[in-house]
Amino acid sequence: MSLAVVRSRAPAAGRAPEVTVEVHLANGLPSFSIVGLPDLEVRESRERVRAALQNCNFDFPVRRITVNLAPADLPKESGRFDLPIALGILAASGQIPAESLLHREFAGELSLTGALRPMRGAFAMACGTARSGVAHGGASSGISGELAASEPAAHSAPQLYLPAASAAEAALVPGVDVYGAADLPSLCAHLADAPDGRLYPVAAPDPAAGASAAVPDMGDVIGQRGARRALEVAAAGGHHVLLVGPPGAGKSMLAARLPGLLPPMTDDEALSSAALLSASRAGFTPSQWRRRPFRAPHHSSSAAALVGGRNPPQPGEITLAHLGVLFLDELPEFDRDVLETLREPLEAGRITISRAALQADFPAACQLIAAMNPCPCGWRGDPQGRCRCTPEIAARYLRKLSGPLLDRIDIQLEIPALAPAELSARSTTTGEPSAAIAVRVNRARERQLSRQGKTNRELGGREVDEVCRPDAAGEMLLREAGERFGWSARAYYRVLKVARTIADLAGTPMPSAAQIGEAIQYRRAFGSL
């Protein structure tokens, strides 16, 4: 047989669309061609595959070899196609049984010795394999009929073959049997049913066993009762937060503890987050399973790094923080144009990157927490008079943040510097741990999901009117505050959403005047600067 078909998958915007690798051997002058929109990495696989087959004592056909990666309009990148191309050549030349490739998917980069190197996107590929149900389908070429007829029965679950170092993360995906192979000869022995070459499905690892560090605990924070309360409200309703305070006040410390307050991930959320991380250059490890992402890009990051870009489109930090936390420290130090790109995804929870020939839609339902100093030196308003910034310098610093961007941040809180007395009392006072706060947060989230099926931050205009309407005293207080501070309609509704979250934490049916007052206080940081 001079034609073989192998199934694989391509990395594409956090997904893994199916790719059919067709290998044809023909008479003529020896050549090796790869078609189907391959990039440079894929084209270079010709030399890796040739050397790997020869060094593993396989015969490399001295014929005209054509490899087609279908569909032809899908860009193919990375070295993951080395393994399916090598298996296709071996099957087409009769060195392994062609029917052994049915109902199975393969991916992996080959070294020149035939060893299989780790690959990124293994988890995303397993998700695609589980969804496709390839175990109940057949090959997609003219040889499918005769090969399928020789197969006695379909497997009970799709089978995915990966490098041994990448199989553990893929094994976390339910509904797919993942096999790990160390090198090409051992995999070929398994496919040929050699008695001593049998491979077995990889067991899903215990994520807790590989965890390198625990989530930072809120009990480590000294003082800052107001900030701790604000983060509890933010975690309960999914609200965005801006912390404003002098150096050393604990802004970064507080931000790092927000993931520990968030509710546990559901199965669907864990799969979605892990697939995005796996397909990105950030990578995914089993220790990250069911852990909320916490991304903290440097303030020199570009717009493409923050929200996504390149060609083909790649996800940015706001997508890698999906269902977790995006922390932007030193917010005014980011380029203003970069910050403006956050406005739409913060509102919609998604971002669409369009290029001339391709458009990618990425999820971006993350929770933003930002931190900044009140002025360039950081000491504006300090009682000891350490600030040396003129009013013009301070105003120019704050103008780096546009009104529309600030409008989308629900909680804007001023963080005071800690007094020496609070620091000296560290050994005798301990704050409430994250676990105790998380219980209240989870209870409030459950109320929101049972009432409206989403967090309070995600409520639309009509839903806010129906769900967040306060009592008479609260409505009067909110109207007076809106007129006094000149809030926009968006700011007005965001105060209502925060008040609704405070009411959910308290278990009350509607926001009261006291809860409206607390929500108003969370939008007054810039009024004191």
β-pairing verdict for 241-244 and 350-354: unpaired
**How many other CB atoms are found less than 10 A from the CB of residue 48?**
20
283 φψ region: left (φ > 0), alpha (ψ -120 to 50), beta (else): left
Structure tokens at 523: 């939008």
Domains of the chain (ranges plus CATH)? 3-191 (3.30.230.10), 218-432 (3.40.50.300), 459-529 (no CATH)
- The number of angstroms, rounded, from the C-alpha of 279 to the middle of its chain's C-alpha atoms is 9
φ and ψ at residue 414, rounded to 5 degrees: -90, 130
CB-facing half-sphere around the CA of 489: CA atoms within 13 A: 5
User: How far apart are alpha carbons 2 and 434 in whole angstroms?
Assistant: 63
Q: How far is CA 16 from CA 8, 21, 45, 130, 187, in A?
A: 9, 15, 20, 11, 23
Q: Which residues contact 216 (CB under 8 A, 6 or more apart)?
A: 253, 256, 257, 260, 434
DSSP 291: -
* Cis, peptide link before residue 312, omega less than 30° from 0: yes
Query: Taking the alpha carbons of 80, 82, 85, 90 in that order, is the dihedral positive or negative?
Result: negative
- The number of angstroms, rounded, from the C-alpha of 227 to the middle of its chain's C-alpha atoms is 27
How many secondary structure helices (H) and strands (E) does the chain include?
Answer: 22, 18
Q: Specify which residues 242 forms β-bridges with.
A: 370, 412
Maximum Cα–Cα distance for the chain, whole Å? 88
- The number of angstroms, rounded, from the C-alpha of 476 to the middle of its chain's C-alpha atoms is 42
User: How far apart are alpha carbons 86 and 136 in whole angstroms?
Assistant: 24
Q: Specify which residues 12 forms β-bridges with.
A: 15
DSSP 32: E
Q: Specify which residues 295 forms β-bridges with.
A: 326
pTM, whole model, 2 decimals? Answer: 0.85
Averaged in consecutive runs of 10 residues, what is the pLDDT profile of the chain (529 residues)? Answer: 90 83 94 94 95 96 95 89 96 93 94 94 91 51 36 65 94 93 95 87 74 74 89 95 91 94 91 86 83 93 88 85 94 93 90 78 92 89 83 88 90 86 64 92 95 92 89 92 88 93 94 93 68
Structure tokens at 6: 């192998």
User: How far apart are alpha carbons 336 and 332 in whole angstroms?
Assistant: 8
DSSP 15: B
8 A C-beta contact, residue 53 and residue 19: no
Residue 213's SS3 state is: coil
Query: What does the CA dihedral 378, 384, 386, 390 come to, rounded to 10 degrees?
Result: 80
Closest CA to 474 of 448, 503, 505: 503
Q: How far is CA 297 from CA 307, 310, 406, 411, in A?
A: 11, 18, 19, 21
User: How far apart are alpha carbons 171 and 164 in whole angstroms?
Assistant: 11
Residue 232's SS3 state is: helix
Q: Which residues contact 326 (CB under 8 A, 6 or more apart)?
A: 295, 296, 317, 318, 366, 367, 368, 369
User: How far apart are alpha carbons 87 and 6 in whole angstroms?
Assistant: 7
N-terminal to C-terminal alpha carbon distance within the chain = 77
User: How far apart are alpha carbons 247 and 124 in whole angstroms?
Assistant: 41
